[in-house]
Amino acid sequence: MKKRSLRNKEKDPGLKKLKQIKNLLMFSLLKSGATSEEVNYATGMGSSNIRGMFPIKKKKS
């Protein structure tokens, strides 16, 4: 079986689509009220990484 290099993985259109879908699902969770800690629990990405990817400002009450 042929090994793929990191560069080939980055160019793989199927992998790119999956990452886009994952990001859309995470964004949807955050917009619906989930915390970055809850999304981290589901994805294992790290809550600070999630906050960096989706810097959503909270509305002042």
The pLDDT assigned to 10 comes to 65
The pLDDT assigned to 2 comes to 57
Q: Answer for the pair 29, 23: CB distance below 8 angstroms, yes or no.
A: no
The pLDDT assigned to 50 comes to 93
**So where are the chain's domains?**
8-53
Q: How far is CA 10 from CA 2, 4, 14, 39, in A?
A: 16, 10, 10, 24
For every one of its 61 residues, what pLDDT tens digit does the chain have, with 9 covering 90 and above? Answer: 556 566 666 678 899 999 999 999 999 999 999 999 999 999 999 999 999 999 877 667 6
